[in-house]
Amino acid sequence: MSSALRFEWVRLRTLRSTYWLLGIGLLVTAGVAFIIAYATRNDPLDADIAAQVLTGGAEFATFIPVFMAIIGIFSTGHEYRHGTIQPTLTAIPQRSRLLLAKIIMVSLCSVVVVALSLAINLVIGLIFWGELPSFGNPLDEVIPGYFVLVILYAICGLALAQLFRGVPSAIVVLLVTPLLVEGLISGLSLVPALDWLQPALKFLPFSAGARLLATGPYEANGGPEFDYLDRWASGGVFAAFVAIILAVAWYLFKKRDA
């Protein structure tokens, strides 16, 4: 396993795309954190503001989750796009070991990036706050939730690219599902004749995953009534979605020709 991890580590750090994806992710997130912190500089520091600054508005602008998902997509998709799956499997023929190494390395990378982003955004916040925010409830759940969300996004990307054995299809599914499919279903649930869709809304995976960053109960305010499960159960819905894709991709990786 250690050889497979070393392989993945060198693979990850010898790709330019790793650096520019992480760099842009950190920069954009820091920019959003700066805008929020600057705009609310005269407001009392509460959990909402602190969470939005620390995560760079990840609840509504999922930059780091999406960029880490793309790194996940590249980790498996590039193998097929550039034909490197053959040399890779002649070096590490144990397919489960290889896939596990990819998952571990992408997850570790996610943890480091989220930690780095939180630290950068905290410094930006402190410029305006002049004091540390309270890391009690709900930040004590939002911050771990952010780590979990980004890891799940990264694994989701990795699994989608492994399933489709390529990069473009995985990126399309990753971007279209939360933006269009879930938006469409939740929008349709507002039509009185289709209100039977409402009980299913809490199981829309990407919407449920975003609840990992929630600082308070969901309020519909005239929008779709999601009636979400609690934070960790919603996170579980997203994790189950990712697990299903990963299981199918893993099974097919073992079964199909390289």
Partner 1 sequence: MITAQGLYKRYGAKVAVDHLSFEVRPGMVTGFLGPNGAGKSTTMRLMLDLDNGGGETLFDGRKFGTIKHPMREIGAVLESKAFHPTRTARNHLRMLAAGSGIPFSRADEVLEFVGLSEVKNKKPKSYSLGMAQRLGLAQALLGDPQTLILDEPANGLDPHGIHWLRDVLKSLAREGRTIFVSSHLLSEMSLMADQLVVIGRGTMIYNGDVAGFVRRFTQSTVRVQSPDVDRLVQVLNRDGVEIVGPGADRSIEVSGLDAPAIGELAFQNGIMLHELATQTASLETAFMTATGESEEYRAHEILGPPAAEMPAPVTPQAGPPAAPPVPPSQPGDSTPGGAA
Q: Which residue ranges make up the site for partner 1 (CB under 8 A)?
A: 3-4, 6-7, 9-11, 14-17, 78, 82-84, 86-94, 255-258
Residue closer to partner 1 (CB basis): 193 or 255 = 255
**Terminal-residue alpha carbon distance, the chain:** 20
User: Hunting for tokens 């771990």 — which residue is that?
Assistant: 144
* Minimum CB distance to partner 1, residue 130 (Å): 44
Residue closer to partner 1 (CB basis): 75 or 117 = 75
CB 232 within 8 Å of CB 138? no
Residue closer to partner 1 (CB basis): 74 or 228 = 74
Residue closer to partner 1 (CB basis): 90 or 221 = 90
